[in-house]
């Protein structure tokens, strides 16, 4: 029998992850390239009320996570030439 997944929200989109998954796993389910950018400095995760969350923090069913950061569309950090 397959364990039921947990539904969480990343940038307002529902994603399903396995129980015991980390926030980074939920972001990867939403967008793998975005998950690779989680560096804690320029790109990071906040919860539904704006608190910074570690990418290694376990997800909780129904929680909202938002990936935020200061990155240009070309992928370079703001402030770089």
The rounded percent of the chain whose pLDDT value lies above 90 is 69
> Residue 66 class from Cβ within 10 Å (0-12 exposed, 13-18 middle, 19+ buried)?
middle
Q: Is pLDDT of 2 > 50?
A: no
More confident residue, 72 or 21: 21
Q: Which residues contact 45 (CB under 8 A, 6 or more apart)?
A: 23, 27, 38, 52, 53, 54, 55, 65, 66, 67, 68
What number is the average pLDDT over the span 20-35? 95
User: Given a cut of 70, is residue 3 above it in pLDDT?
Assistant: no
pLDDT at 81 over 50: no
| For range 55-70, the mean pLDDT | 93
Cα gap 81→66, rounded to integer Å: 27
CB atoms near residue 12 (< 10 Å): 9
Q: Could you tell me the residue ranges of all domains in the chain?
A: 6-57
């Amino acid at each position: 029998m397959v364990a039921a997944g947990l539904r969480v929200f990343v940038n307002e989109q529902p994603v399903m992850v396995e129980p015991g998954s980390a926030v980074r796993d939920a972001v990867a389910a939403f967008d793998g390239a975005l998950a690779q950018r989680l560096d804690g400095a320029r790109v990071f995760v906040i919860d539904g009320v704006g608190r910074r969350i570690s990418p290694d923090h376990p997800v909780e069913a129904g929680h909202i996570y938002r990936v935020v950061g200061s990155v240009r569309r070309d992928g370079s950090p703001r402030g770089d030439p």
